[in-house]
Structure 1
Amino acid sequence: MNTNDIPGLEFDHYTSAQARANRTTVETIHRSAYADAISTGDPFNQPDAFMQRFDAYTDPHSGRFELVVARIDGRPAGQTWGWPLTANSRWWSNLELDSGDRAAFTAENGLRTFALSEIMVCNEFTGQGLAHALHDELLTSRPEERATLLVEPDNTPAYRAYLRWGWHRIGTLKPSWPNAPTLHALTRDLESHR
């Protein structure tokens, strides 16, 4: 993705402490990107539930969290974040692997897998390639071997985009968060995309 294709685009990178200091921006982007899901009353996507998850992700003791915020002409336009999985990470807890040795697949050491937790774009900036630009900005310099993400099976636009960007399904997973849906777990090799 060539970020020159989006005029006025800039990225800001934040650690967990810096992300917490920008909590208002994070919630503002979420409210715009998930306006339709919020309006349905879906409890998982409500701002309070979302921000509780954000606070857990950015816990100073949780590891090397990274947030990337996209701004277009200085205005928040989207965000993405994630962190490397450690031996104590609960990410794979409810994974039902399509095939293979689950224990070997889920063995983590902090250097093997980067969990891409969120990509969201404010409604007014959709359709410009910003999600792909955020994706690449976060993952291009990651040192891990692979990345993983979770996607709702019926989120066809996102699912198709992930497949185009080199991701593939490895199983299903229901996060332990209250009201979480069962999601498809995808992975992508990072070493071959550097």
Structure 2
Amino acid sequence: MTTHTELDLRHYGHADAESIRESLLDIHDEVYEGSDDPLAGREAFARFVDHWSANKEFACVLAYDREQPVGYAYGAPLGPATTWWTKVTPLLPDAFVAETGSRTFALSELMVRTPWRGTGAARRVHDELLTSRREQRATLLVHKDHTKVVALYESWGYVTVGEASPFDGAPQLCAMVLTLNESGGLAGAGYGSDS
């Protein structure tokens, strides 16, 4: 399935968390099968899914190809008490890290099953999730050593603002930010449309 296919992109929120949980975990297990990353196991990842989906503002897009799950993206806005920026180095200005609950959408996960990689599915799922967002910007963390993934996000308009290891056992991650348009959603200068 290396050709462009029509995807059915479905939106889910906090109220749907229980109904999509197993699908999220199953896709994750397939994507990370054989990984030696201690945080890639189902039980460890389930804690992340449960943490994010417990947020009342949780948003998820699941993609399907003829009812076959393809992949997903999910996240939630950063609240005023977030610790998202606290371990980013170099230290970022207070004005940059101040959160209101409606300033920054944190993209926690974006993954696509192998048969649909290279088809543009990841970009379509990403864009579908962020197009409807009202926040001014989006942020994500990506493994510093995954240079191809970092480069892919850069081609989508993300800029690296620092590095972080947000919790014990976490690898060194690049903290990246994508500016959304003034009223939220994807648009405007600096947002590439070629990937």
Q: Give TM-score, length-normalised by structure 1.
A: 0.88
Counterparts of residues 110-121 of structure 1 (less than 5 Å):
110-121=101-112
Amino acid at match of 1:179: G
Percent identity between the two aligned chains: 37
Hey, what's the Cα distance between the residues in 2 that align with 1:140 and 1:31?
27
1:44 aligns with 2:53: no
Hey, what's the Cα distance between the residues in 1 that align with 2:143 and 2:64?
26
1:76 aligns with 2:76: no
Correspondence for 1:125 among 113, 116, 120? 116
Hey, what's the Cα distance between the residues in 1 that align with 2:4 and 2:57?
29
Name the counterpart of 1:186.
176
Name the counterpart of 1:55.
50
- Judge conservation of contact 1:63–1:84 (CA < 8 Å) in 2: no
Structure 2, unaligned runs of 5 or more:
188-195
Q: Give TM-score, length-normalised by structure 2.
A: 0.87
Hey, what's the Cα distance between the residues in 2 that align with 1:50 and 1:90?
19
Correspondence for 2:17 among 5, 16, 19? 19
Amino acid at match of 1:146: R
1:140 aligns with 2:138: no
How big is the shift at 1:191?
A: 0.8
Q: CA RMSD in A?
A: 1.6
Matched positions, count: 182
Structure 1, unaligned runs of 5 or more:
none
Hey, what's the Cα distance between the residues in 1 that align with 2:60 and 2:132?
13
Q: Deviations over 1:108-141 (max 9, x none)?
A: 0011111011100011211111111111111112
